[in-house]
């Protein structure tokens, strides 16, 4: 089929030689294609949703003939998917843009695009502040990226930060980036309607909308068929997932959706993030308990343990409500691990109120937490209504106390796992040694254990834990 090319004629060769020639020729063509196609490089910051969005962006660009590269220096298009959640996240992005400027100087014609929350927050301001940025694209405008790139190639800088009420990218099959081939994210909804007073997300990601449930199941099925064994359903507030089947007018809740995805295959593990204490229903907990493949792990951010502060944060639950939710988890799924997000030093927080956060951490017995000190974000309710009056020193001191306590709780949590046996999904080699595998148990704890002949990433094995630190468990395979 290729030998009509005058430069290569395989006709007189043996079949083996011909095969080798074919391979050589195909490689040459692939190489030529690679040289001809434009390459994009994408870097992601922030939440899992951003990483998932980058996979949608990659897929949109691949459709247009772009190929992806991990090498910044050889890219024609550098994209940075940004996070605005705290000031520090934005500072990191600005630093990276300085580095991209240098690459651009060495390779004139290279385009730089800013995607995600910072793009949405700063809009055209970005182009004024960062002169060398060529396009600014908000989270709902990724379909427009090829057009914006084409415009930028002509020298026209472009901005699309239109926020949609409908866009869910339901029809786009994400191109998996940096994947271990075992676990993948599936975005089930976009935006957030909650308006927590500290949070910039409702402004950068727009109104909440849920994705077609069948497209979610189809994506999970496709992933399973490709060998993936774990999916994490992503949304800012998964418990408020709500979609209506247009054919039957039947509503699909998050509990229904979980069940639909769990039924894809018993060997496909289901995780989800993030749950909101005000919306997490017993229905969801019962569904989790009913399906072995829905993991016993809930990320249930508390933010603060004090009712007055929670009220200022507009979290719409009280300390007692949160504690009752923890009790419901224990009642319905006794071996469920719970993790949290915690903010230290929110506006007007007193020392006693900070102590309430520490005590709710002990009560909740979090397996782990993401912990931050409050960072005022322009435009949020808190920035408009409250004074950011806790000094940086006090914020840092309270955060340190929170971190220290969490380390202790995690350590004790993990110590209790010693002697227990867990079903582990093997993810790959451990970070420290290629003689060891690492994988997670249902409770989302990473376990490191010596490899065994015949076992591969993507397979399940039983592991008994014999050692634990606050971060990792060590174990050995048992039959
Ligand atoms: N300052 C500090 N932490 C914040 N988070 C969100 N906004 C802020 C802010 N302004 C934290 C919350 C949220 C997590 C994703 O980030 O704990 O759950
Ligand atoms: Fe932000 Fe609250 Fe929405 Fe989470 S639930 S994204 S913290 S507004």
**Mind listing the pLDDT tens digit for each residue in 127-186?**
888 788 999 999 999 999 999 999 999 999 999 999 999 999 999 999 999 899 999 999
Tell me, using a 6 A CB cutoff, whether residue 240 lines ligand 2.
no
Going by the DSSP 8-state scheme, the letter that residue 73 receives in this structure is: G
Give the number of whichever ligand sits closest to the CA of residue 194: 2
Question: Distance, CA 370 to ligand 1 centroid (Å)?
Answer: 9
When pLDDT is averaged across residues 45-57 and rounded to a whole number, the result is: 96
Ligand 2 and 196: CB distance under 6 A = yes
Between the CA of 161 and the centroid of ligand 2 the distance, in Å, is 20
Which are the contacts of 403, defined by CB distance < 8 A and separation ≥ 6?
A: 371
Q: What is the pLDDT of residues 241-254, one digit of tens each?
A: 999 999 999 999 99
- Name the band, by pLDDT with cuts 50, 70 and 90, for residue 13: very low
The domains of the chain are located at 37-160, 183-415, 421-478
* Residue pair 196/237 in contact by the 8 Å Cβ criterion: no
Q: Which of 2-11, 315-324, 363-372 has the lowest mean pLDDT?
A: 2-11
Report the DSSP pairing between strands 135-137 and 189-190: unpaired
CATH number assigned to the domain covering 37-160: 3.40.50.12160
Task: Quote the CA–CA distance of 399 and 394 in Å, as a whole number.
Answer: 8
CB of 382 closer than 6 angstroms to any ligand 2 atom: no
User: Can you tell me the distance from the alpha carbon of 470 to that of 160, in angstroms, rounded to the nearest whole number?
Assistant: 44
Place of tokens 């309710």: 381
421 C-alpha vs ligand 1 centroid, how far in Å? 35
Name which residue sits closest to atom 14 of ligand 1, judged by CA: 341
Question: Phi/psi at 393 (nearest 5 deg)?
Answer: -60, -45
Q: What is the rounded average pLDDT of the residues 364-370? A: 98
**CATH code for the structural domain at 421-478:** 2.40.50.140
Handedness of CA 159, 165, 166, 168 (dihedral sign): positive
Q: What is the pLDDT of residues 431-467, one digit of tens each?
A: 999 999 999 999 999 999 999 999 999 999 999 999 9
Confidence of residue 428 (pLDDT cuts 50, 70, 90): very high
List, in sequence order, every residue forming a beta bridge with 210; answer none if it has no partner: 189
| Smallest-distance ligand from the CA of 380 | 1
So what CATH class is 183-415? alpha beta
pLDDT for 19 equals 46
Q: Positive or negative CA dihedral for 291, 296, 299, 300?
A: positive
Phi, psi at residue 41, to the nearest 5°? -120, 130
| Domains 37-160 and 183-415 agree in fold | no
How many A from CA of 258 to the centre of ligand 2?
21
- Residue 117 CB–ligand 2 contact under 6 Å: no
Q: What is the pLDDT of residues 15-48, one digit of tens each?
A: 344 445 555 555 555 555 555 689 999 999 999 9
- pLDDT tens, 310-361? 999 999 999 999 999 999 999 999 999 999 999 999 999 999 999 999 999 9
Q: What is the pTM of this model?
A: 0.91
Residue 237: name the closest of 281, 296, 183, 176 by CA.
281
């Amino acid at each position: 089929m290729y030998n009509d090319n005058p430069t290569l004629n395989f006709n007189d060769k043996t079949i083996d030689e011909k095969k080798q020639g074919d391979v050589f020729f195909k490689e040459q063509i692939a190489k030529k294609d690679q040289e001809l196609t434009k390459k994009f490089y994408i870097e992601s910051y922030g939440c899992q949703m951003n990483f998932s969005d980058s996979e949608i962006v990659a897929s949109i660009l691949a459709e247009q003939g772009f190929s992806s590269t991990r090498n910044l220096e050889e890219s024609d298009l550098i994209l940075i998917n940004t996070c605005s959640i705290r000031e520090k996240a934005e500072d990191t992005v600005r630093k990276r843009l300085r580095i991209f400027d240098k690459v651009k100087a060495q390779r004139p014609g290279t385009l730089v695009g800013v995607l995600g929350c910072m793009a949405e927050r700063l809009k055209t301001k970005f182009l004024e502040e960062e002169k060398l940025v060529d396009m600014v694209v908000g989270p709902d405008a990724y379909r427009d990226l090829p057009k914006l790139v084409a415009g930028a190639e002509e020298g026209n800088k472009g901005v699309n930060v239109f926020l949609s009420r409908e866009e869910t990218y339901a029809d786009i099959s994400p191109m998996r980036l940096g994947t271990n081939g075992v676990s993948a994210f599936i975005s089930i909804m976009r935006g957030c309607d909650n308006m927590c007073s500290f949070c910039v997300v409702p402004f950068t990601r727009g109104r909440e909308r849920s994705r077609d449930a069948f497209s979610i199941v189809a994506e999970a099925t496709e992933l399973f068929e490709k060998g993936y064994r774990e999916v994490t359903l992503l949304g800012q507030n998964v418990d408020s997932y709500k979609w209506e089947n247009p054919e039957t007018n039947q509503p699909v809740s998050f509990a229904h959706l979980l069940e639909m995805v769990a039924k894809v295959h018993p060997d496909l593990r289901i995780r989800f993030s993030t749950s909101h204490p005000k919306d997490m229903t017993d229905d969801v907990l019962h569904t989790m308990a009913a399906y072995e493949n829905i993991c016993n792990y809930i990320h249930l951010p508390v933010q603060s343990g004090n009712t007055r502060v929670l009220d200022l944060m507009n979290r719409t639950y009280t300390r007692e409500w949160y504690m009752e939710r923890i009790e419901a988890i224990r009642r319905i799924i006794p071996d469920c691990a719970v993790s949290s997000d915690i903010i230290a030093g929110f506006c007007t927080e007193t020392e006693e109120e900070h102590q309430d956060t520490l005590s709710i951490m002990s009560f909740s017995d979090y397996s782990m937490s993401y912990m931050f000190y409050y960072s005022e974000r322009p435009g949020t309710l808190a920035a408009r209504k409250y004074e950011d009056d806790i000094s940086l020193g006090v914020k840092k001191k309270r955060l340190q106390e929170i971190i220290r306590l969490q380390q202790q709780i995690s350590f004790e949590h993990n110590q209790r796992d010693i002697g227990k046996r867990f079903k582990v999904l093997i993810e790959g080699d451990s970070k420290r040694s290629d003689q060891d595998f690492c994988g997670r148990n249902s409770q989302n704890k990473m376990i490191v254990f010596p490899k065994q002949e015949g076992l591969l990433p993507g397979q399940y094995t039983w592991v008994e834990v014999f050692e634990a630190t606050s971060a990792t468990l060590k174990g050995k395979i048992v039959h």
